[in-house]
């Protein structure tokens, strides 16, 4: 059964642990993540972005995930990731998604809030959890933003203003994290994270978790991060495994390649499940 993430994230906030959100695109990616979640018997969030609509429709992904979720013992949330189009957000909710993210992070604060109010009204009426984002990060493609003024930490003042203006269930923050691959070792701003957590008292979300050292992820979770997003690493390991098999001299069938890629995703996802369940901070 699919559920929204509202109570799951509240529990994480009180227990100082987190739930991983893994991006999925098709049967193999969804099945890999749910196999890991079932192994740990832990809640998991499957995230599907509006940019993946070329892979499958919202209704297809919902039907696929709902069927698979009924076969595992743990809570499963189907989440719309990084949605900038309110029509897509509504379509995902109508298709059965149980959680949505409206990403107005690159908009002026007033416009972000205005659009979030529309999203919140639609989500609340459908018992769907809503995530917002503040602060500038590079796009989901991993490409850099030419206007560096957009790359900024989440403001405590703006976080308070947004959370007081509109009802949301979680807030994605920018504290030195980035989408895609990091060129240098990331260094999260834990002081800013603690200030935001103290000011808003809401579950916070960390995007761009691929490449962030375990000790920083653990500390972030202990400082208020209740959801970590993972995409790039899973995509890379699956692609590398497929490439390795295709470069072999064996006569390889397509379904064999997909199964091996699925196995690679399971192996890569497991450590994130571990650290969300047991965030041990090493000073």
List the catalytic residues.
81
Distance separating alpha carbons of residues 153 and 135, to the nearest angstrom: 5
In 3D space, the residue among 160, 157, 194, 161 whose CA is nearest the CA of residue 175 turns out to be 194
In 3D space, the residue among 154, 203, 157 whose CA is nearest the CA of residue 175 turns out to be 154
β-strand partners of 206: 173, 228
* CB distance 155 to 109 below 8 Å: no
Residue 147: both structure tokens together: 């206007």
**What's the alpha-carbon Rg for the chain, to the nearest Å?**
18
Residue 225: φ, ψ to 5°: -75, 125
- State in Å, rounded, how far the first CA of the chain is from the last one: 39
């Amino acid at each position: 059964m699919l559920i929204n993430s509202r109570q799951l994230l509240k529990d994480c906030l009180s227990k100082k642990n987190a739930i991983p959100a893994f991006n999925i695109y098709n049967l193999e990616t969804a099945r890999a993540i749910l196999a890991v979640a079932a192994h740990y018997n832990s809640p998991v969030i499957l995230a599907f972005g509006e940019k993946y609509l070329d892979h499958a429709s919202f209704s297809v992904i919902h039907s696929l995930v709902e069927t698979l979720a009924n076969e595992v013992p743990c809570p499963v949330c189907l989440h719309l990731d990084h949605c900038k189009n309110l029509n897509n957000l509504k379509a995902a909710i109508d298709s059965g998604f149980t959680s949505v993210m409206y990403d107005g992070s690159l908009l002026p604060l007033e416009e972000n809030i205005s659009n979030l109010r529309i999203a919140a009204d639609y989500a609340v009426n459908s018992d769907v959890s809503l995530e917002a984002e503040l602060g500038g990060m590079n796009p989901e493609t991993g490409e850099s933003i030419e206007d560096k003024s957009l790359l900024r930490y989440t403001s405590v003042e703006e976080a308070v203003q947004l959370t007081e203006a509109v009802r949301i269930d979680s807030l994605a923050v920018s504290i030195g994290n980035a989408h895609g691959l990091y060129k240098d070792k990331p260094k999260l701003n834990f002081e800013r994270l603690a200030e935001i957590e103290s000011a808003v008292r809401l579950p916070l979300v960390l995007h761009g978790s691929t490449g962030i050292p375990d000790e920083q992820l653990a500390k972030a979770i202990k400082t208020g991060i209740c959801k970590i997003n993972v995409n790039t690493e899973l995509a890379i390991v699956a692609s590398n495994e497929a490439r390795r098999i295709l470069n072999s001299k064996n006569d390889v069938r397509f379904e064999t390649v997909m199964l091996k890629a699925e196995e690679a995703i399971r192996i890569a996802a497991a450590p994130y499940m571990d650290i969300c369940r047991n965030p041990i901070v090493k000073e």
